[in-house]
Amino acid sequence: QVQLVQSGVEVKKPGASVKVSCKASGYNFASYGFSWVRQAPGEGLEWLGWISAYMGNTNYAQNFQDRLILTTDTSTTTAYMELKSLRSDDTAVYYCARFGTGYSDYWGQGTLVTVSS
């Protein structure tokens, strides 16, 4: 069965970077992409960007173009999201999701990233 397992809780100081991993299994990794979405406490869903798993093509939301890096490693079937220059308002649960044709059908469990001095 399709599974996406994300790395654990992160606590970072303002200005630092965070890198979250998303290990995929149960399907042909190269045939899909990944979208990354975050959710601040008590808030709605915010799309960060997506990446094609095989070619590595990326597309970032305008608000994150200068500090977000998405990558994949086909040898370990893992996707990564790195967010730089963290601020307190980056505190959120970050989700990876398998990206199909315009929608995300399987989601990771989420990774809480807390940014605090």
Partner 1 sequence: EIVLTQSPGTLSLSPGERATLSCRASQNVRFTYLAWYQQKPGQPPRLLIYGASTRATGIPDRFSGSGSGTDFTLTISRLQPEDFAVYYCQQYSDSQYTFGQGTKVEIK
Q: Which residues bind partner 1 (CB under 8 A)?
A: 35, 37, 44-47, 50, 59, 61-62, 95, 97, 100-105, 107-110
Q: What is the DSSP letter of 85?
A: S
Q: Nearer to partner 1 by C-beta: 17 or 63?
A: 63
* Alpha carbon distances (Å) from 15 to 52, 65, 66, 76, 116: 28, 17, 14, 29, 10
| Least distance to partner 1, CB of residue 16, Å | 25
CB of 75 to partner 1, least distance (A): 26
Tell me the closest approach of the beta carbon of residue 15 to partner 1, in angstroms.
Answer: 28
Q: Would you say 17 or 65 has its CB closer to partner 1?
A: 65
Helix (H, G, I), strand (E, B), or coil: what is residue 62?
A: helix
Contact 70, 51 (CB under 8 A): yes
